[in-house]
Structure 1
Amino acid sequence: MPSTRSLRRTAFVLAAAAMCLLSACSPVAPSMTAPTTSAATTAATTEPVGNDAPPVDAPSPRFAIGCDAVLPRTALVALLGAGEAPLGEVDLGAVSAPDASAAAQVGALECAWNDGRVGSTWTGPVEGAQSVRLGIVPDAQEAAQAYADLYNGGETPTPYGATAQGPRCVAFDVDAFCELHGWLAEAWIALQIDGIVLEEGDTEASLAAEFTALTDAMIAALADVGSSSEPWMPPASTRSVEECEQLTTPAELTEVTGLPDLRFGLSWDGPRVGQYWYSVQETGAMRCSIGFSQSESGYGTVSYLPGGDWRYLLERDAWIADGGAFVDVPGLDSEAAVLRCADDSQPCMLDLRLDRGWVRISFPEVPPASVTYLPEGLDFVAARSSIVELASRIVANAG
């Protein structure tokens, strides 16, 4: 009887072969040299909201291919192995904050899958959880090269040449992850796969070989379709917010939430490279972190995407259907604020359509009693209940 390892390898080979048949990748080797930067590449598209609402002028991916075509779920499942729960596609539009939607606004194709076992704000990720995240960003060759140069560290070029970092896999005690970052097929590709189940005989080299077969097919599929011709242009806004301090201050946060000794501002660890950093710089998006000044513990965020009201308009009906409610915030139009804060075991979020921009105030779930590293004596339930008042202050401060 064949081993589980053999079955997984057979499934992976069949899945990779199917990708190659669809993309004609078998006779095509990945380019070993950096392709030239393509011309600005998808025209703005419109999508409806609700039954009676007019279409929304919104960006769309600037690549003529979908997530399952560029990276089939069957191939991912074959590489990941049998986890504790099925792998499913994630609707990033439904879960991404404004700053995390900046890549979509510049025309990226963003794809994600996970097994549904999402970690807690206070206790971290679930051990052994399986997830996949793929970002494909157009017109960013220089930024992609800066990332590869930084993390290659002068080592021998990868199989894809000096424009890439990876493909590589790192194994731990019971699982592994694999990643690839680089300018390939005239696009900036960033792919990470977490929670690969280790089986007897697996090594980092053998996993990398399987992973490379998957990325070869992915790159070939992307090269076959190319990109479209026009970038989406965000609408002009009458409000200009460029710094966290224009939204609120630590003193005002303490006054409103009742939480003492707070800090507020941009928080960024590590080098300022990568697709997230590139996208927020291109769009002017921000993630302003709320934290306790006497510790590294955080307490929520205020994030902002200029020109991002398209995402608010596309998602607000789903937020309402999921238990959210419109609330009145002084200075905003009716139906320009949706609150989702009914369950203390879930994050408390208030989304605002601020002129043509999108703001989200997010407080975490109430911490369980087992969390002991936070300052003592704080009323997190009362802090969550202040979120509408905080929104009114932010709208007033933004001008």
Structure 2
Amino acid sequence: MYDRIIRPLLFALPIERAHRLVLLALRVVGWIPGGRWLLDRCCAVHHPSLGREVFGRSFPNPVGLAAGFDRNGDAVRELAALGFGFVEVGTVTPRQQAGNPRPRVFRLERDRALVDRMGFPNRGLERTIQRLRRPRHGLIVGCNIGRNASTPPEEAPHDYLKLFRNLYQYADYFSVKLGCDNASNDRAVYTRRYMLGILQPLFDFRRGQNQYRPILLKVSPDMTDEEIDRVADILIETPLDGVVATDGTRARTGLKTSPEALDDIGAGRLGGAPLTQRAIEIVRRIHTRSGGAYPIIGVGGVMTPDDARAMLKAGADLVQLYTGFVCEGPRLVRDICRALIDEAEELTAMRAAEASMQEPEEAGTDSSAAGHSDAAGKADASPAPAAPAEASSDTTDPAAAPRDAADKL
């Protein structure tokens, strides 16, 4: 149904209009009594093997929705009913902002990709709090936070701390977005001094709280290996809890879309299939550098179940979808979950087979040992050699034999 009706309808509309229509439809479903239950029955996959325990939180499955889709937390419960194990809202800024002028999101259908230079439009802190106050019934919601575009870089720590402090009781974890615009080149924000200037006030505030909220840093695929290693070192050296890898890329290499069309689109971050390998490489590098001791949420180019499995094998504990969800719809969440269930069942069957193969070997070893024991027992039970004739003639009384032997000694 999605491929034949819903997807052609949505792709016939401008992308932002289609996005608003999807969110409105989800909210309407949520208003209908039993609507979320029916959505869950039709779309979600539940299985014990999908559960994950990450940074102290229990996730029903490892497939989440990345920040940018539900920026204000308007439909988190309905999105969870589609099968997502967690939803990340945002990017949230302290004050409402409209973002960049339209058009600002573009489809690259030949590349299965999107180019985004929206500039973080959102309704601001107060609207997000209103939405996240609603009961969530165990749903895990992360919050991606960033500074307003009008905030100077030197005042950025104040924006992040305000968001963190006011959203602390409503979010289950936080991901920190260092840049202020997804169309700009933010290389300066990945210096150690800038990153610690943003993160340290968050760590200080958290120390005084009764509840613990994990803090993760979202990184860019355009970072150099040196910058990636710097993030991994900060992860090891500070109370930072994990990394979200990665954001969109400014690179345009290897695309099927014509250069002329790309020139017409202009600046923006690209997400989707062209980003898959680079995102997996960064996840693997951070996982290796940090010794696999810290949680990683893998995002960027997860378009198929194989992409999700590759991301998890590279070291990610959880994965997030964005462009893949836009292109494939909720069936991608279902297909990934089913692939992970099949993989878990195959692993269980393999272990059972290995155990059954070891049992006969152990049984064979036991029977061999038993054979040696029986043989030894039979040898012990065999008659003793006959005594010499002169000894037998002297032992008329069985009880005398020991005394005679003693007398001889």
User: TM-score band (shorter)?
Assistant: under 0.3
Higher relative contact order (CA 8 A, sep 6+): 1
More helix by share: 2
More strand by share: 1
When normalised by structure 2's length, the TM-score is: 0.23
When normalised by structure 1's length, the TM-score is: 0.23
